[in-house]
Amino acid sequence: MSESTDAPTPAAEASRPERDRPWVMRTYAGHSSAAASNALYRRNLAKGQTGLSVAFDLPTQTGYDPDHVLSRGEVGKVGVPISHIGDMRQLFAEIPLGEMNTSMTINATAMYMLAMYQVAAEEQAETAGEPVEEIVQRLAGTTQNDIIKEYLSRGTYVFPPGPSMRLITDMVNYTVEAIPKWNPTNICSYHLQEAGATPVQEIAYAMSTAIAVLDEVRASGVVPPEEFGKVVARISFFVNAGVRFVEEMCKMRAFVELWDELTRDRYGVTEAKQRRFRYGVQVNSLGLTEAQPENNVQRILIEMLAVTMSKDARARAVQLPAWNEALGLPRPWDQQWSLRMQQVLAYETDLLEYDDLFTGSTVVEAKVAELVAGAKAEIDRIQEMGGAVPAVESGYMKSALVASHALRRQRIEAGEDIIVGVNKYETTEPNPLTADLDTAIQTVDAGVEAAAVEAVRAWREQRDGDPAKQERARAALSRLQEAAGTDENLMEASLECARAEVTVGEWAQALRDVFGEFRAPTGVSGSVGVGDGADASLTAVRERVRATEAELGERLRVLVGKPGLDGHSNGAEQIAVRARDAGFEVVYQGIRLTPDQIVSAAVAEDVHLVGVSILSGSHMELVPDVISGLADQGADDLPVIVGGIIPESDAARLTEMGVAAVFTPKDFGLNDIMSRFVEIIRASRGLPAEVGEAVTAG
């Protein structure tokens, strides 16, 4: 018999190397109201989330109060409405800002959000009897504050590029000393990939934006050259990770290599720690599908691996979308699921126990070298144009993104790029997750907007009812405008506006009056479409367009309009490009139009079809306004179609209102959509369904 012992053998003892600290774990959240969002944040923190990522609604992002005409239908839909310091106080009630790491996805109005955040923190310190200066020095987090990509993708810009860059420069110069742990700008390539950027474009355009910001800060002369490393050390990035795992991981290593070289050679930063590429990530929402949405879970997990497995290029913060974001607004449970994915990877696996897994890989090194070379060539091309700002103003960067997105769509339509559940393996069992679509997503209460409108009006009335407060607010806005006309840093004037209870709309309008507004190039007219390389299905659509034109004796004209504040124009641009390729004359005026402007353009251009694109959830407010506006103009026979993230129940209601067709992300075949355009136009003009059909007399 063998001798027994109570002591475990060496093989029984698991090896447990020391683990790295996990990345900051966030969920991108905010909706309805400051109070509702505050409750959500505190629940998420209690579940183990280690940082906050604030989603603001579109009026807040574009500098409008809830009662502005362009805010209609948008209040509280894609984020939380923050209209003044009172809202900011409520948003972070019982959340100690001196101990929190907060990311704010805000750009055009970033300066005012940071000013209100600082004032809210100061008030917390005063209430707690702590020194105000100490809590401000401890504030940690990020304002996205990358306006270049707003002109290219998200569309929440307000001011022209020059003044916008000045606001960013002022924030960098202010925070480097006043809030030294704050990242004043977060160079954001995430939305470039959403707009169609290839990995080379994503790297090159992000680096070109960083060069533009750093050059502006250096030229301002505020920070001494010997301290410029402090500026570089506070520049962070926000990156996208797609499902092409190896390429995306190599992209991050290429970012690390290029940033180290750029900051050393161009800006003379000698300290390696200050040259470190620091980035947060949200994985790709573009690839989330409405069809078989359960597949989004594995997509999200695979995409997270791309930015966590390589230790030398690991993300500092990660936020994941939810499986149902292609259907609508995720519920708290859906966000919890995404948070748990991060926690399982960080705490249950051994990922954080090892050095970089890919060092020495010839495959990885070759791919990184290819990406670096391609990005450098594109950066040089942009620098020859004068840099990122001229490349935006000329339309070059936007046209390049629309073109690359069009090519991607063509690959999907041709089956060259397989999307499981969309263009292959479409057979599916009934999905219990979406058996009741009305409960599978969160909806914003219809009363949220009315309550916000009433609240902001009451705020202004109460403020202005006190002569001293009214005068302080008036003086603060006057001081802001005066400073905007000089080269004075605008942070101090903005801080006084926050303390004086000025609203976001008032702050932004004061600067609009000085800086003016801007409409970025759409990129559609110069983009690469299918051209002469049409396949059989597009050729068939072209023939139907030509035949219909011959029957009507006029060109077929389509208007593509984006009402409200939704700036995600990628889908609208692809529809416009393909409609042009199909032979339609296309009227596309870009983003941020009122329903009245769309109606006026449709009547003036005498179009045959109006296409409305909305992804922000405001379709039930804005589409009826378009339909009623057309009726008021005697054009109620003009067909209207709608595209966007639209639940089935809403689509049914829109159809009842007279909408001719509703298209959602599952309708990925652009040629099929173009064919429907022809059918709808023919029906509206009393033509037989098929070209060449004889009309039978009744």
User: What Å distances lie between residue 532 and 419, 583, 658, CA to CA?
Assistant: 26, 12, 36
395-427 tens-digit pLDDT: 899 889 888 888 888 898 888 999 999 889 999
250-300 tens-digit pLDDT: 999 999 999 999 999 999 999 999 999 999 998 887 789 889 999 999 999
Helix, strand, coil % in the chain, rounded to nearest 5: 55, 10, 35
What pLDDT score was predicted for residue 2? 52
**Mean pLDDT for the chain overall:** 90
Q: How confident is the model at residue 314 (pLDDT cuts 50, 70, 90)?
A: very high
What pLDDT score was predicted for residue 414? 86
Q: How confident is the model at residue 693 (pLDDT cuts 50, 70, 90)?
A: low
φ and ψ at 542, to 5 degrees? -60, -40
Mean predicted confidence (pLDDT) in 50-58: 89
CATH topology of domain 24-349+360-425: TIM Barrel (3.20.20)
626-640 tens-digit pLDDT: 999 999 999 999 999
% of the chain residues with pLDDT over 90: 69
Per domain, the residue ranges of the chain are 24-349+360-425, 451-515, 536-685
250-264 tens-digit pLDDT: 999 999 999 999 999
Residue 532 has pLDDT above 60, yes or no: no
What pLDDT score was predicted for residue 524? 66
Q: Which residue type sits at 338?
A: S
User: What Å distances lie between residue 109 and 145, 261, 643, CA to CA?
Assistant: 8, 32, 28
What pLDDT score was predicted for residue 696? 40
What pLDDT score was predicted for residue 445? 77
What pLDDT score was predicted for residue 675? 94
Mean predicted confidence (pLDDT) in 151-158: 85
Mean predicted confidence (pLDDT) in 59-64: 95
What pLDDT score was predicted for residue 695? 42
CB-facing half-sphere around the CA of 32: CA atoms within 13 A? 14
Concatenated DSSP letters for 287-331? Answer: T--SSSTTHHHHHHHHHHHHTTS-GGG--SEEE---TTTTTSBPP
457-502 tens-digit pLDDT: 999 999 999 999 999 999 999 999 999 999 999 999 999 999 999 9
Is pLDDT larger for residue 549 or for residue 446?
549
Mean predicted confidence (pLDDT) in 89-107: 94
What homologous superfamily is domain 536-685 in, according to CATH? Answer: Cobalamin-binding domain (3.40.50.280)
What pLDDT score was predicted for residue 297? 95
502-514 tens-digit pLDDT: 999 999 999 999 9
What pLDDT score was predicted for residue 665? 82
Query: For the purposes of burial, counting CB atoms within 10 Å of the CB of 63, is it exposed (0-12), middle (13-18) or buried (19 or more)?
Result: buried
Picking from 524, 493, 484, 492, the residue whose alpha carbon sits closest to that of residue 160 is 484
What pLDDT score was predicted for residue 141? 94
598-621 tens-digit pLDDT: 999 999 999 999 999 988 888 999
Give the residue numbers annotated as catalytic, written as ranges. 28, 190-191, 562, 566, 568
536-685 and 24-349+360-425 share a CATH fold: no
What pLDDT score was predicted for residue 5? 57
